[in-house]
Amino acid sequence: MDDFTNLNYSQNIAAIFKYLYTSGTDLVMLLTTDEKGYLCRKRAFDRFADIILSRSIAELKSRNVDVLLARTSYVPEYKAFYLRGRSPGETGSFYGEEIFARAIIGY
C-alpha cells in the first residue's frame, strides 16, 4: 500500500486498520516501511515472517542498504514488522532486541 505511513495521508492508516479489524478479512499486516504497508493472508504470515527474518537484512545489505527490523509485539492480532534504515549508533539487526527479544524473534 503506497503512502501507508505518509502522514500527509494519515487517514490511510486509520482506514486500513479499521478494515483489517472489522471486516472479517483474511488479510493481516505483514510489514511496514517509512512509506509502504504490505499485507498477506493470515495463513501465509509465518512463511513470509521466516523469509523476512532470515533474508531481508542480508539481501538489503548486499545492495548497500543498512536496515534493521523492529517488532515490539507478539500478540496474534499484530505481529507485523517495521523495516527501516539504521540510525547512528544503533547496532544489531533488530530494534530493541535486548528489551523485546520475545516479541521480535518469538513469533
8 Å CB contact between 2 and 35 = yes
Please check whether residue 25 lies inside any domain of the structure. Answer: yes
pTM of whole model > 0.85?
no
Count how many domains the chain has.
1
Q: What are all long-range contacts of 53-57, with beta carbons under 8 Å and residues at least 24 apart?
A: 53/105, 56/83, 57/93
- Structural domain that includes position 59: 7-105
Local confidence band at 101 (pLDDT 50, 70, 90 cut-offs): low
Kindly state whether residue 2 falls inside one of the protein's structural domains.
no
Inside any domain, residue 17: yes
Question: What are 32-85's pLDDT values in tens digits?
Answer: 999 899 999 999 999 999 999 889 999 999 999 999 998 877 677 788 999 999
What pLDDT was estimated at residue 67? 93
In-domain check, residue 1 = no
